Structure 1
Amino acid sequence: MTGHTMRSTLAVLLASLGLAAASAQVPDLDPRDEVEAEAPELPQQEALPPEEPGIIDPDDLSTWLDGFMPYALAQGDIAGAVVTVVADGEILLSRGYGYADVETRTPIDPDTTLFRPGSISKLVTWTAVMQLVEDGLIDLDADINTYLDFEVTGVERPITMRHLLTHTPGWGEQVRALIMDDASQLPPLGEYARDNIPAAVYPAGEMPAYSNYGTALAGHVVAQVSGMSFDDYVDANIFAPLGMEYSSMRQPLPEDLQGLMSSGYMRASDREGRPFEIVTPAPAGSMSAPGNDMARFMIAHLNQGEGLLSPETAEQMHTTADRKLDGVNAMLLGFYEQNRNGHRIIGHGGDTTLFHSNMHLYLDHGVGLYISMNSSGQGGSPGRIRQSLFEGFTDRYFPAEPAEDRPTLDTAAEHGAMLVGNYVISRRAHRNFVAATALLGQPSVTMNADNEISLSILTDAAGTPRRFREVEPFIWQEVGGVERLSARIGEDGEVEMFSGAFFSPFMMFVPVEWWRNGAVLMPLAGFAGAALLLTVLLWPVRAIVRWRFGRRFELEGRQAMAYRLSNIGALATLAHLGGWLFLITYMMAELNRLDGRLDGMIILMQLLSVLPIAGLLIALWNAFVVWTGKASWFAKLWSLVLVASTLVMIWFLIAAGFFQFGLTY
């Protein structure tokens, strides 16, 4: 993903933040990319169910995929992909599309070509955790400090392994050094876990907020409890039993696997492969694996954990739901629900900067679907392709039973109005400069004349927000679609949280505080910025006009000084804001830039926070001088505009987290 717009910056964060999750959308190390309006249109094919629903004809599947994938990759500017489908304990289809290396036109071998499944790696970590739960070595509900060689502090209530599995430890997002290029800079897992504890934002167990750190901490617990390194444990207890001989969580890859790794690209048309990505919270996203090894992992879970877990433990992992909202998908123990068409589906998504993947397990049919792509492409295309593949595959082979049209409730106008407004996502940075992404791209809920509501970041293929109507109290069904929204209302009648089935397992939307509300602050900041910019631009213009017509500068003494300083103060305030916006956009464009290489610039910008404060003091002094001297009514009015504009800019800088100090972000 790129940082060319504020909205795409949000998407990059959601993604980057996810090693595999959303919303916002957050590359991901995030399970799901936001669907961008400018993404390429993908081929639409008629969803013709087989004569016996649930039975997949391999020839039909092959024909369908061969029609869909090459065109989708070409339109999305993606170099290559692997698609793997398993059914009834066997690999039904596993095929590479495009190239593992564009320059050499190396084809993709689903048996040996390695892709990076990003946060799907978490399922390996969670499986390891559940093995130790099954062995009685980990209690899901014990204080996590029981298993650590350091102490997690600063939390309102104890954090448990269950909280980590369900992404409810209550921590804010942390992205520093999430992905890097230099393996020599990778800290040991225990050191990373000890030194990067995020700030607590919510009481544990209350708010889903996807956490890469939480999975890394769980991986460290695996190492502590088992007495083995995390990598050694996974090799011995997951990869070896399943025959996943080409898979590894190690970084860099072992020498015998390095030559099998697919190149990763920003865009296929660039033809330039990027370096192997180092995921710092390794248990959250460091895996490298070919399609057929991922098939073996899917088959094990579809066969009641065969080779990994007892049937009882696998059932516990696949069905124990942390359901915060009615009518939408819930987080399970590591997996999350992806139910569609009335079928029980669980899975996970994953993204690094370069690789983008999804896994779906159709539990009642013994079917698994996996896709991984080796390019970020253009216009959010990996998210579009993954979602289109999932929806098309599900609708084709597991269609919905005809459902009767449910009427819109009489409460639609009242309840819809309660949701209208701006929101922030629960999974976000709260107290540092990365919080600016949440301010600059706040999702909003609107309602039309038919009492249908829309969420700004849930759009159709044309980029138009989808419409939802209330069919149950505080549950909205997509008009002409299957997506759902659900809200939880507090005793005071205010919205506590809401989400859509697409996001609900790991991310909620919560009402934004009034002073961070972009609907108010962004227009004010726009006017304030325009006033300061106009002040700065008119300064040299006036000087040129005076010089051109031979007129002298009329102000003298402290009035002249106040005039000149007020222009300098306006320029300093704008320069500070502009510097921050440029820096954060540049950093979020590619996640490896968050590896600490720009810490010097961050410290400089934090020190330069004195500039807008100085600008405010100058504006106040200028207003005093103007109002106590002989000045025109326009000069007096404009002096107040400068004071107000500088105050608004400082308000914006505080809301964006630009006045926070430190290198924890």
Structure 2
Amino acid sequence: MHIIRKLALAFAALALPAFAQAPTELRPTLLAPKPATATSPAIAPAGPANLTKPDVDAWLDGFMPYAIAAGEIPGAVVVVVKNGQVLTKRGFGYADRKAMKPVDPDLTLFRPGSTSKLLTWTAVMQLVQAGKLDLDKDVNAYLDFKIPPAFGKPITLRNLMTHTAGFEETVKYLITANPKIVLPLDKTLKRWVPTRIYAPGAVPAYSNYGASLAGYIVERVSGEPFDDYIDRHITGPLGMTHSSFRQPLPASLAPLSSKGYEAGHEDARPFEIIPLAPAGALSSTGADMAKFMIAHLDHGGALLSPATEAKMVAPANAPVPGLPAMALGFYHEDRNGRTIVGHGGDTIYFHSDLHLYLEDGVGLFVSFNSPGKNAAAHLVRTRLFEEFTDRYFPAPVVQATTIATARDHGAAMAGHYLNTRGSLTNWLKFIGVISESTVSLNPDDTITVSSFVDAAGNPKKWREVAPWQWQEVGGVSRLHAVVRDGKVESMLSSDLPQVFLFEPAPVSMNAAWLIPALIGALAIMLLTALGWPVVALIRRSYGYRPALAGRGLQLHRATRVTAWLFLIIAAGWMIIVMSIDSNLEAFNGGLDIWMRLLQLLTLVATAGTVLACWNAYATVTTHDRRWWKYGWAVLVALAGLFLVWLLFTMRTVTLSLNY
């Protein structure tokens, strides 16, 4: 499970993930509860706390030190702004644990990860405001290379900003510590255009490539390198003097950068380089991020006109009605009746969140320099947002009643679900299968969804309070399903932004039967492979010479060799996944030669499966009365056929090694 979580982080991150940064690794959002009714009385909250520096500081002092200590997170920064001013900016723990260097909110640079995209999207909107970009024009009009046609529809900037361009997930060359393999932005984008697996505008599928494509369009249209554009038109006008997209950092900023840690008790890791820079390469201090928040809360401030700012934060896409929508770059995370927009961000080591309470002129930014123990940073930032909102902007909690269709609709929801943020044309397709979300119907007519857990890590329970709408038992999160003709097409919880969906897994990708079948097939191959030398030794010790000879003996041996090949292939892919978990650079081409070797072995094993089928036929037609003999031969042939089908269906054999 640690491997799956790490892969999810890498996806979600600008990161893996991730992934996630794993969909559950993205920062949760929550809806406001419904108004009280006669059958669902509201529990009145305590009055709001006074949003002042003394109160916020006292609250943070009671929350953050324990949270990061318990989570084994070396350091964090928290900034709150209100009415155009910094209300408080706090550093907790260490920027360099070994040197005992404390976090300074004015000087310590953190890596906001995908929160960096907000600067990229702001740059896009500046050029839209200037009349140089059209949100609804084919992006190929702005590029010096072509996004291949697909689905009969062009990709637009609006698609990129709402993550509905249809690109599949990319992991290769996502993050590296080796500057020698990093190419300029244009060459990085041209190296490989990810396959489009959805029609533009049809399905949200979060894309780092899409965000970086938008950054390159800014570069092309403005005539300025992306880093220079950000310096001159965003960080410069706002006085964000301790912020940069440049990698490595300029000499004046590099000594100020916080160290990054995979685990709080381990040594610091190298500076992370993001080849798709516009998607997540920013380094910034808490104080500088405060300036960025203040500008957007001030109707665009020095960055955008009020009209352009209003367009940027307005709901732009809501594939699951009733849940907070996606805006243009920002995602809505409305809670307690407040309109809140923001963005989360993850690298492998840094984990951040930015929230803007638009109607209240309040902003909250937090960043951690380690995921901590058991990914504690994700829980801490979620709880920080929820408790901050509930403390200063409380709302009644509604105890909604369960409606009569709960059992029938719960049964219709039960099953396995794939995340639309994934891959279908390369080996990462199998990662999507083994990380599927499951929905279960409980005896009390509630449902449980494996991807949505509470603070203790237990799956939340949901009860249906309106047709195809569920509320968290004991909480305010909502879960909605999109249903057509009585069939569930997708679902999502307000714990996550609408940058991806969960869709029912098709039969060919349903882990409910694929994983047991895979385990069974490999068990058959293992017994076959081990039985070969064991039986040979037993025969030798008793001096027994089997009658099998000629073609029959050759087929028998070929079948056993094929069993060993399948075991080697399975072990090889397992090692690759484990390498990704333990070695960041495994994403960046170092495993290519081993993948090619496994693909070659797969082709040989495919030929061996043909021979295993021949062997099964020959064994059955010999009229041998020993049923176990021909029965096992048939089982081995069927197991081989299944494994060949699975290896090709999961795209482990491909012409390209881009993923």
Report the TM-score range of the alignment, normalised by the length of the smaller protein: over 0.9
Q: 409, 427, 431: which is aligned to 2:403?
A: 409
Q: Which amino acid aligns with 1:514?
A: V
Match of 1:468 in 2: 462
Instruction: Assess if the C-alpha contact under 8 Å between 1:447 and 1:454 holds in 2.
Output: yes
Is the partner of 2:367 in helix, strand or coil? Answer: strand
| CA deviations over 1:577-632 (Å, ceiling 9, x no partner) | 22112213322555442122222222222222213303312211221232233642
Q: Please say if 1:125 is aligned against 2:120.
A: yes
Q: Please say if 1:315 is aligned against 2:310.
A: yes
Identity among equivalent positions (%) equals 44
Q: 12, 17, 41: which is aligned to 1:15?
A: 12
Q: Distance in 2 between matches of 1:24 and 1:411?
A: 35
| CA deviations over 1:554-597 (Å, ceiling 9, x no partner) | 53333333332221111111211221122133225554421222
Match of 2:179 in 1: 183
In structure 1, runs of 5+ residues without a counterpart are 35-46
Q: 218, 234, 240: which is aligned to 1:238?
A: 234
Deviates more, 1:548-557 or 1:358-367: 548-557
Q: Distance in 1 between matches of 2:550 and 2:220?
A: 72
Deviates more, 1:253-262 or 1:85-94: 85-94
The count of corresponding residues between Structure 1 and Structure 2 is 644
Shift of 1:374: 0.9
Match of 2:571 in 1: 578
Is the partner of 2:90 in helix, strand or coil? Answer: strand
- Cα 1:48–1:302, aligned 2, differ >3 Å: closer, same or farther? farther
- Cα 1:606–1:560, aligned 2, differ >3 Å: closer, same or farther? closer
Aligned runs of 1:175-574 on 2, under 5 Å?
175-270=171-266, 272-403=267-398, 405-490=399-484, 492-553=485-546, 555-574=548-567
Q: Please say if 1:172 is aligned against 2:172.
A: no
Q: Distance in 1 between matches of 2:220 and 2:271?
A: 28
Instruction: Assess if the C-alpha contact under 8 Å between 1:49 and 1:396 holds in 2.
Output: no
Shift of 1:135: 0.9
Match of 1:635 in 2: 629
Is the partner of 2:243 in helix, strand or coil? Answer: coil
Aligned runs of 1:622-661 on 2, under 5 Å?
622-629=615-622, 631=624, 632-661=626-655
Is the partner of 1:268 in helix, strand or coil? Answer: coil
Aligned runs of 1:88-103 on 2, under 5 Å?
88-103=83-98
Instruction: Assess if the C-alpha contact under 8 Å between 2:161 and 2:329 holds in 1.
Output: yes
Instruction: Assess if the C-alpha contact under 8 Å between 2:9 and 2:22 holds in 1.
Output: yes
Q: Distance in 1 between matches of 2:238 and 2:126?
A: 14
Deviates more, 1:75-84 or 1:112-121: 75-84
Is the partner of 1:380 in helix, strand or coil? Answer: helix
Match of 2:34 in 1: none
Q: Distance in 1 between matches of 2:111 and 2:16?
A: 11
Instruction: Assess if the C-alpha contact under 8 Å between 1:86 and 1:367 holds in 2.
Output: yes
- Cα 1:376–1:406, aligned 2, differ >3 Å: closer, same or farther? closer
Q: Distance in 1 between matches of 2:274 and 2:467?
A: 43
Shift of 1:50: 7.6
Shift of 1:213: 0.5
- Cα 1:436–1:265, aligned 2, differ >3 Å: closer, same or farther? same
| CA deviations over 1:195-230 (Å, ceiling 9, x no partner) | 322111111001111010111010011111111111
- Cα 1:20–1:541, aligned 2, differ >3 Å: closer, same or farther? closer
Match of 1:39 in 2: none
Instruction: Assess if the C-alpha contact under 8 Å between 1:25 and 1:33 holds in 2.
Output: no
Over the aligned positions, Cα root-mean-square deviation in angstroms equals: 2.2
Deviates more, 1:415-424 or 1:242-251: 415-424
Instruction: Assess if the C-alpha contact under 8 Å between 1:19 and 1:118 holds in 2.
Output: no
Match of 2:39 in 1: none
Q: Distance in 2 between matches of 1:228 and 1:578?
A: 48
Q: Distance in 1 between matches of 2:85 and 2:6?
A: 41
Is the partner of 1:458 in helix, strand or coil? Answer: strand
Shift of 1:24: 6.8
Q: Please say if 1:76 is aligned against 2:71.
A: yes
Q: 104, 107, 112: which is aligned to 2:102?
A: 107
Instruction: Assess if the C-alpha contact under 8 Å between 2:8 and 2:17 holds in 1.
Output: no
- Cα 1:327–1:589, aligned 2, differ >3 Å: closer, same or farther? farther
Instruction: Assess if the C-alpha contact under 8 Å between 1:18 and 1:210 holds in 2.
Output: no
Is the partner of 2:354 in helix, strand or coil? Answer: strand
Shift of 1:124: 0.3
Instruction: Assess if the C-alpha contact under 8 Å between 1:409 and 1:470 holds in 2.
Output: yes
Question: What TM-score, normalized by structure 1, do the two folds share?
Answer: 0.92
Shift of 1:472: 1.9
Shift of 1:147: 1.3
Instruction: Assess if the C-alpha contact under 8 Å between 1:432 and 1:661 holds in 2.
Output: no
Is the partner of 1:635 in helix, strand or coil? Answer: helix
Q: Distance in 2 between matches of 1:651 and 1:508?
A: 27
Instruction: Assess if the C-alpha contact under 8 Å between 1:422 and 1:444 holds in 2.
Output: yes
Shift of 1:653: 1.7
Match of 2:35 in 1: none
Is the partner of 2:365 in helix, strand or coil? Answer: strand
Q: Distance in 2 between matches of 1:653 and 1:317?
A: 44
In structure 2, runs of 5+ residues without a counterpart are 30-42
Question: What TM-score, normalized by structure 2, do the two folds share?
Answer: 0.93
Match of 1:25 in 2: 22
Match of 2:146 in 1: 151
Q: Distance in 2 between matches of 1:11 and 1:334?
A: 22
Is the partner of 2:374 in helix, strand or coil? Answer: coil
Shift of 1:117: 0.3
Q: Distance in 2 between matches of 1:543 and 1:628?
A: 24
Shift of 1:501: 1.2
